[in-house]
Chains A and B, each alone.
Chain A
Amino acid sequence: MSKLLRALTDNRAFKSLVRHGYPEDARTRALAVYSNLFLHIHPLKVRARAIAFPRTFYLGGLSAACFFLLTLTGVALMVFYRPAVPQAYQDMKDLEFVVTLGVFTRNLHRFAAHAMVALVFLHLVVTFYRGAYRRPREFNWALGVALFVLTILLSYTGYLLPWDQLAFWAVTVGTKMAAAAPWVGERLRFLLLGGTQIGENALLRFYVLHCVALPLLAVVGIAVHVWRLRKDGGIYLGPAENTPLADSEKKAVDHEDLVSTWPHLLARELVAFLGITLALVLVSIGFNAPLEAIADPNLTPNPAKAPWYFLGLQELLHYYSPLVSGVVLPGLAIAALAVIPYFDLNLIRAPLWGEQRRSRLALLWGITFAGTGWLIFAGAHPVWPLIVPLLVIAIVMSFAALPSPPTALGRWLAQRSLPFWIFTWFVVISVALTVIGIFFRGPNWDYVLPWRDGVYF
């Protein structure tokens, strides 16, 4: 074996490619990372603690893996796809019935796209709860929020391309929502569609965005994101990282658990990549991506649902005008997410309660009551999926404010910061609205029970 490997790597051709030969000792392992354009986005050594799976669950890496799979399958699909009416739909049917592995490729592309949206959201949530959004990582966090939006846009522009009923009506509703933006909305919709109706112009524009413009932005964004991760000191290891150490201690701690990137980090990345690929391949063999009848601008299906990650917004549309639920609320949520780390809002170790307990509790309940009032009366119906989490969180916060919390859980809650509570509310309502939109809404956007009436999806 070692003879064979030597024969393969110990020759002029291989060495012209990889000067130091196959890396087997500390020096060549360092060189392998250092001298390779792609690998040198990593440092030469990483902390064993940082690359442990339970720290990040590799969610960012898995998102990147999905993006890679999407690029491969996407380029393959482009060979058979024409962004024109009605060819686009015919090409989908061809992929389904006459192209070898056509269904599989389409399935893989579709399921990897869904997986990426979910993984990026989970990555955002986990990164927040780990506290990794704080200085010096605030820029990378804001960039991450931009990547989250970009991921959704990529998925959404792809949604129109099959030109079936699902695609057509999801995009009708989505672009009308954009049109509700003040001043620029109508014009934005006109530019996006290349006209006033969803037709061939719109299909071509979505195609260009989906296959060229947005992926290019995503590649650059992801590269900067991973590079900044390294420049910001690698994966966040907890509050101790920020405590100044004596110089003598520093040396000891610094070298304590450093391991070389090749093979320790790279092997983990490879396994993670193979794992998600295997999972998606299995799903793609077992299930087929939906394809409904060809788009018919005269016939709206009932119910007409947007893609699942927009069903939270679509549920909001039931309560508020398109301006509020399609532009103002999501815009505020995205902006708030991006700027969280730039406000040193009661970050760790400054207890939220303490001296000003009474006045802060009064403020909390003032805001809660005002918010509940707004949520009950401002919309077409009371917005229960927002009201209930608001009240529950305010109650839990008040318990955490008791002078001496009785249990360990109480003490833990007492130490949570304000951003923690706001973010938790955001996560709970996004999930609640989305789950209601997916499972509990049927024809006419009336309530249904999924176990009794089935899922309209």
Chain B
Amino acid sequence: MASPTDTEPTDQERERRRFLLLVGSGALGAVGLGLAAATLRFIEPNVLFEEDRRFAVGRPEDVPVGTVLVLVRQRVYVVREEKGFYALSAVCTHLGCITRYEAEQKGFFCPCHGSRYALKGTVTGGPAPAALVRLHLSIEREQLVVDAGRPAASQALLELPA
């Protein structure tokens, strides 16, 4: 390699250097983008140690018609009506606060921005964009089982006449 000097480059050399500069910075830029993508992928967890959201509530025949079970720890409501059962997530569909059951007003109520829901989960007031999410319900070994990780259709009902 020639020892460094400070002679003025010719026009042709300038042109060549500019070309190399563009190619080189393009390559460096591509490496940068690749690193950024790899970093993004790196910080995305592959395995989540989050709790299993399936749990048993009890035997369905023990729950009288008209009951609203408030399962605080699981953040779920289970409602027994004439025709059967449905389960609602207690998480407000607005920004994720936990709603409360208000027995006198027969509804659920969110303390964060004041959303209100009817017993069926439909919105009756406030900024909530959608009804409370209905959750998957099933009977397993005579037990009523809620899968809080699995949303169900908006009218889902586990039919079980009283």
Contact = CB atoms under 8 A, between A and B. Distances in A.
Interface of A: 169, 172-173, 176-177, 190-191, 194-197, 199, 201, 205, 297-304, 314, 317-322, 380, 443-446
Interface in B87-124: 94-100, 109-114
A128 B95 CA distance: 34
B40 A445 contact: no
Contacts of A197: 50
B111 A303 contact: yes
A195 B95 contact: no
A173 B75 CA distance: 17
A304 B98 CA distance: 10
Chain A interface SS verdict (over half): loop
Interface stretch (B22-30, B41-49, B136-144, B152-160): B41-49
12 contacts: A172-B95, A173-B95, A195-B45, A195-B50, A196-B48, A201-B45, A298-B73, A303-B112, A317-B95, A318-B127, A320-B127, A321-B129
Top 4 A-B residue pairs of the complex, sorted by shortest distance between their CB atoms: A302-B111, A176-B95, A300-B97, A445-B114
A173 B97 contact: yes
Contacts of A321: 127, 129
Contacts of B50: 195-197, 199
Interface in B1-47: 40, 43-45
Given A191-B43, A194-B43, A197-B50, A304 B114 contact: no
Q: How large is the interface on B (under 10, 10 to 19, 20 to 34, 35 or more residues)?
A: 20 to 34
A201 B50 CA distance: 10
Contact of A317 (B43, B99, B113): B113
Contacts of B129: 321
Interface of B: 40, 43-45, 48, 50, 72-73, 75, 94-100, 109-114, 126-127, 129
A169 B127 contact: no
B113 A298 contact: no
A322 B94 contact: yes
A368 B120 CA distance: 42
Nearest to A201: B45
A177 B113 contact: no
Contact of A445 (B43, B44, B98, B113): B113
Nearest to B125: A380
Given A321-B129, A445-B112, A299 B72 contact: yes
B140 to A, nearest CB: 24
B98 A191 contact: no
Given A169-B97, A298-B73, A300-B97, A444 B48 contact: no
A445 B96 CA distance: 15
Nearest to A302: B111
Given A169-B97, A298-B98, 12 more contacts: A169-B112, A172-B95, A190-B44, A195-B48, A300-B110, A301-B111, A303-B111, A303-B112, A317-B94, A317-B113, A322-B95, A444-B114
A300 B112 CA distance: 8
Given A191-B44, A194-B45, A196-B48, A299 B112 contact: no
Contacts of A320: 127
A376 to B, nearest CB: 17
A113 B33 CA distance: 34
A318 B97 contact: no
A135 to B, nearest CB: 28
B137 to A, nearest CB: 20
Contacts of B99: 300
A176 B96 contact: yes
Contacts of B95: 172-173, 176-177, 317, 322
Contacts of A303: 111-112
Nearest to B98: A300
